[in-house]
């Protein structure tokens, strides 16, 4: 399934540019998603200076059938996915937008699409994990009504880990 949104670009250097972002539903075997995850990993390693930070101890996203990719003019600029925690709850994972395309509403669009898909599958709650150095991510999630929760599952006791959740 393919959804499309027209978003206005950020107010700084991009002016009144109109950007059409397409959102594709796919799975974790999609090479475009594999490349998004590689880009995310490289970004996190640079951000944390290889300080042995376990940015996602539950990193595996093999065999996930709930992946959203964001594309602008057929260029994949970001993505994310979710996996089931229990019959009511999913965990959003591996969400990333290429830094060049930030400020265009791509991340918000990915979140909206993930939430919509989780609702369609009758889940009622979403959780996620991010890092304390990822202030922009935390702000984005707060903007979408996520709040900090106790670390859950594999993130319990992980220094620098920030877990968030919300009802959907």
**pLDDT surpasses 70 at 41:** yes
pLDDT score for 58 = 58
pLDDT score for 5 = 57
Higher pLDDT, 63 or 55: 63
pLDDT score for 13 = 41
Question: Percent of the chain scored above 90 by pLDDT?
Answer: 67
pLDDT score for 17 = 53
Q: 44 pLDDT band (50/70/90 cuts)?
A: confident
User: What is the overall mean pLDDT for the chain?
Assistant: 86
Higher pLDDT, 71 or 51: 71
Q: 10 pLDDT band (50/70/90 cuts)?
A: very low
Domain of 132, CATH number, reads 3.40.630.30
Domain count, the chain: 1
Q: What 3 state SS string does the chain have? A: CEEEEEEECCCCCCCCCEEEEEEEEECCCCHHHHHHHHHHHHHHHHHCCCCCCCCCCCCCCCCCCCEEEEEECCEEEEEEEEEECCCCEEEEEEEEECHHHCCCCHHHHHHHHHHHHHHHCCCCEEEEEEECCCHHHHHHHHHCCCEEECCCHHHCCCCCEEEEEEEC
- When mean pLDDT is compared across 17-21, 23-27, 98-102, the lowest value belongs to 17-21
pLDDT score for 105 = 94
**pLDDT surpasses 90 at 71:** yes
The parent domain of residue 38 ranges over 2-167
pLDDT score for 54 = 55
């Amino acid at each position: 399934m393919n959804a499309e949104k027209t978003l206005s670009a950020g107010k700084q250097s991009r002016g009144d540019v109109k950007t059409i972002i397409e959102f594709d539903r796919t799975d974790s075997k999609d090479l475009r998603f594999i490349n998004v995850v590689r880009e995310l990993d490289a970004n996190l390693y640079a951000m944390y200076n290889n300080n042995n930070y376990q940015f996602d101890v539950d990193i595996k996203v093999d065999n996930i059938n709930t992946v959203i990719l964001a594309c602008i003019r057929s260029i994949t600029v970001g993505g994310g996915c979710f996996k089931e925690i229990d019959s009511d709850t999913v965990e959003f994972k591996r969400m990333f937008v290429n830094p060049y395309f930030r400020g265009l509403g791509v991340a918000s669009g990915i979140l909206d699409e993930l939430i919509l898909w989780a609702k369609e599958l009758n889940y009622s709650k979403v959780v996620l994990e991010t890092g304390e150095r990822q202030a922009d991510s935390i702000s984005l999630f707060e903007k979408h009504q996520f709040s900090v929760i106790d670390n859950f599952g594999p993130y319990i006791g992980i220094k620098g880990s920030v877990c968030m959740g919300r009802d959907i």
